[in-house]
Structure 1
């Protein structure tokens, strides 16, 4: 797969093909040409290393080299090498700032760093970064932009992980309707935002019976969407399935009258 990706992209460069073709060819480093889904796990890690080794010798301002650093960071994360991934991602952020790259690019790299903070258990640092990213995205792009909606998803996820359910629910009740309208039901940001919102509903100790029912209904819908869009074997689909099981268990526990002695 690495050799195929290398050859396809080299052909595009040699023939001076347009940017869309270059992007499509480079995507072979991280996306399957058959199912069009991103690689994950050790496959993503191996391809990330191969991509970085292929373009490492190029100038820093050369975009394939920059993208290769991104793929290396992603690949290390997929293989659970989070400390190494953080080192790569922080170096990438420094490089992109040094090159004066657009705000949207900088925000994307910061988002990857925040994810790595989470994997390393640095939850408060992740929350602060994601809060700042959401605020910056609102200011730069407005509430309907895909970058802002993704930032809302990530910020809400961090709030949820720190059990700040009231804030998470308030955020998602504003962002989810916008995502459904602007991005559509099948977009990753939309159904993942709905999943995290549902988690904030059923995990909240003060959840009402209606909250639990809403969580189950929402997760039944997002699980079906994830299965249809990503396939049953994808890790994200498993995350939706797991959340649905927990929501159903919480609802059953509330609906089942406790036994009296």
Structure 2
């Protein structure tokens, strides 16, 4: 925590650009030795330490915004999902007040959808996933990697609710786009095919026509 605090303070004092500031802020959640993200109670403890460090700053201060995000992630990592939900809902309300770019709002909604799913509130997660996918289509277009990733997330949530026909319909539309834009070996494209295969496997109404 002290290393992260010092690195961020140095970046601010020297007026380093946002890219450097974000990289240094990453020390609040990623180990500097192995470059792996912290997990469970360690991530939660660092989230609290991060939030307490920047809590006294104005709401418009970017490190304070990032600190709230880290607190939400940390609580979720330690399975305190109800508390994480409160933080993430507060974060989304704050960012709306600050009129942040649409892409940032979609990222926050994505985090919120994950928390809803962790709490078993799958219908709310689905509603958010639908909005996020629609938002990415409008903002980035159907060929953008972020849009294709959100299509996967949306389809996964549909399958979890046993809405297999909708999931398969969406994936049949995105699979050729992912193949054309991302290539055969891209991770997102492979995941799209895996989600489709899983929907076929778990759908009791699947037929050979789904393979054509």
2:140 is matched with 141
1:230 is matched with none
1:4 is matched with 3
Larger radius of gyration: 1
Would you say the 8 A contact 1:202–1:211 is kept in 2?
no
Alpha-carbon displacement from aligned partner over 1:178-230 (angstroms, at most 9, x marks no partner)? 3455456454x445444433321211113458989xxxxxxxxxxxxxxxxxx
- Does residue 89 (structure 1) correspond to residue 66 (structure 2)? The answer is no
Alpha-carbon displacement from aligned partner over 1:47-75 (angstroms, at most 9, x marks no partner)? 21111111111110111100111111111
- Does residue 20 (structure 1) correspond to residue 19 (structure 2)? The answer is yes
Structure 1 residues 9 and 128: CA distance shift in structure 2, 3 A: same
RMSD: 2.3
- Does residue 47 (structure 1) correspond to residue 49 (structure 2)? The answer is no
Would you say the 8 A contact 1:93–1:109 is kept in 2?
yes
1:101 is matched with 100
* Aligned residue pairs, count: 210
2:174 is matched with 175
Would you say the 8 A contact 1:104–1:147 is kept in 2?
no
TM-score by length of 1: 0.73
TM-score by length of 2: 0.88
How far apart are the structure 2 equivalents of 1:43 and 1:176? 38
Would you say the 8 A contact 1:13–1:22 is kept in 2?
yes
Structure 1 residues 81 and 10: CA distance shift in structure 2, 3 A: same
Q: Which runs of 5+ in 2 are unaligned?
A: none
Q: Which structure has more RCO (C-alpha within 8 Å, separation ≥ 6)?
A: 2
How far apart are the structure 2 equivalents of 1:176 and 1:65? 39
**SS of residue paired to 2:64:** helix
Tell me the CA shift for residue 16 of structure 1. Answer: 1.9
How far apart are the structure 2 equivalents of 1:182 and 1:33? 34
